[in-house]
């Protein structure tokens, strides 16, 4: 477990973190984690051998952001360690799944210029100055907080996302001579924080500093010629930042399924994008209490037909696990197995439409048990394993009337002619 955490911490270069216990001994308790400075010696975008590119089903990277933390805040430094603990307990490690699961190591932080592809120069430079001269402080009412390390930790998270796009593309190229399903690229999964989908072009919002998935989309377009990018956001909260960054872009299809009325209050079905991007934004505000059936219906009735029509070159997932029924910050009723079923269908969609090229990037998820369970079940799905969900009916958990869900889906289908 300690080795897995240490490898994840080494993945991000200056300023990277090694995960240790106070006093210098390896930690087995997520409550005792503290950041320690370390510098990667790798100058490459990522370190992954040819064999891993050819055979892996899933490539993941971790940027735990341990220098970005505030005691008692839900977007805490315990989130990625909790996921790594859950993966370890589920035997979902590269050591136990050699040839199938690979850890992406040695990636570099994103540059300010790479982040400026989706944010204004004034905001990016100003955040750097603010972190160096005035942190710690709150920068919005959510509250989104800033520490002296937050700017660099956010660059590390974006860097992990860009490197995963590079790795998935490299995996696709490594398999060009294969046939059938063996030709499909490995999936990617970024365990990155802070999250990013609320970050606006000109500012931070909702625990988010930089638009991680948005930067990954721009990187895919500019560096790999993957012009048409589908972003599906299944976080419980509307990805308003991603929505606004691409609202006039016809080459990025943004679909968000979120809880109606939850933070930040955006994501109405009537928001379909603007100008050249009109119709390339699809918002599906689900009734509070929507559960497994609603999540799968969104995929079958909205996401899949929209994707087939759009024909993406790459699929990116804003993977928020705060729709889990355990999560304290919202009110959807997804189960652990919901994330498995979503991930299976999304990888099948990528295999069908874009040679398997799909990257999941972590957004929300604030109950550590639900977060660890949900991400682990997504990993199982992408590795071809069965769900690890053990419970059936959950006492006291009653999903919203599906007729309400049906009306929301019907409106979206009519609006977008699906």
Residues designated catalytic: 198
Cβ–Cβ contacts within 10 Å for residue 305, how many?
14
Angstrom distance (rounded) from CA 153 to CA 149 = 6
Residue 143 preceded by cis peptide, ω within 30: yes
Total residue length of the chain: 418
CA–CA distance from 21 to each of 8, 25, 93, 97, 335 (Å)? 15, 5, 22, 27, 33
**Measured between alpha carbons, how far is 213 from 360 in angstroms, rounded to an integer?**
9
Strand partners, 62: 191
- CA 279 to each of CA 164, 196, 234, 255, 297: distance values in angstroms, whole numbers, following the listed order: 28, 23, 19, 10, 20
| Other CB atoms within 10 A of residue 363 CB | 29
Please, is 339 exposed, middle or buried when counting C-beta atoms within 10 Å of its C-beta (0-12, 13-18, 19+)?
A: buried
Q: Is 328 exposed, middle or buried (0-12, 13-18, 19+ CB in 10 A)?
A: exposed
CA angle 7, 9, 10 (to 5 degrees): 65
Helix axis angle for 150-174 and 212-224, nearest 10°, is: 40
């Amino acid at each position: 477990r300690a080795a897995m955490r240490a490898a994840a911490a080494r993945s991000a270069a200056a300023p990277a973190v090694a995960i240790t216990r106070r006093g210098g001994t390896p930690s087995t308790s997520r409550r005792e984690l503290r950041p320690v400075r370390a510098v990667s010696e790798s100058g490459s975008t990522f370190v992954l051998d040819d064999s891993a590119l050819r055979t892996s089903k899933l490539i993941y990277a971790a940027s735990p952001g341990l220098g970005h933390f505030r005691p008692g805040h839900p977007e805490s430094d315990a989130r990625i360690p909790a996921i790594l603990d859950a993966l370890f307990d589920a035997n979902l490690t590269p050591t136990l799944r050699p040839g199938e699961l690979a850890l992406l190591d040695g990636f570099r932080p994103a540059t300010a210029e790479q982040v400026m592809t989706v944010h204004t120069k004034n905001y990016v430079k100003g955040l750097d100055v603010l972190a160096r001269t005035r942190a710690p402080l709150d920068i919005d009412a959510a509250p989104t907080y800033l520490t002296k390390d937050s700017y660099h930790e956010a660059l590390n998270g974006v860097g992990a996302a860009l490197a995963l796009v590079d790795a998935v593309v490299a995996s696709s190229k490594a398999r060009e001579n294969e046939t059938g399903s063996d030709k499909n690229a490995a999936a990617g999964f970024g365990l990155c924080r802070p999250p990013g989908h609320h970050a606006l072009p000109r500012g931070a919002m909702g625990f988010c500093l930089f638009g991680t998935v948005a930067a990954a989309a721009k990187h895919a377009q500019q560096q790999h010629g993957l012009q048409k990018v589908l972003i599906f956001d299944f976080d419980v909260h509307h990805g308003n930042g991603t929505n606004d960054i691409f609202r006039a872009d016809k080459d990025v299809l943004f679909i968000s399924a979120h809880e109606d009325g939850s933070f930040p209050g955006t994501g109405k079905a009537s928001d379909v994008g603007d100008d050249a991007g009109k119709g390339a934004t699809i918002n599906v505000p689900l009734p509070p209490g929507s559960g497994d059936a609603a999540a799968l219906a969104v995929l079958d009735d909205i996401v899949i037909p929209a994707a087939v029509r759009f024909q993406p070159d790459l699929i990116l997932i804003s993977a928020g696990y705060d729709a889990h029924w355990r999560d304290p910050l919202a009110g959807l009723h997804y189960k652990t197995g919901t994330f498995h079923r979503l991930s299976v269908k999304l990888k099948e969609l990528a295999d069908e439409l874009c040679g398997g090229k799909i990257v999941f990037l972590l957004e929300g998820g604030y109950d550590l048990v639900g977060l660890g369970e949900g991400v682990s079940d997504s990993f199982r799905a992408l590795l071809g394993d069965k769900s690890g969900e053990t419970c059936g009916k959950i006492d006291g958990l009653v999903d919203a009337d599906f007729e309400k869900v049906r009306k929301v889906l019907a409106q979206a289908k009519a609006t977008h002619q699906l």
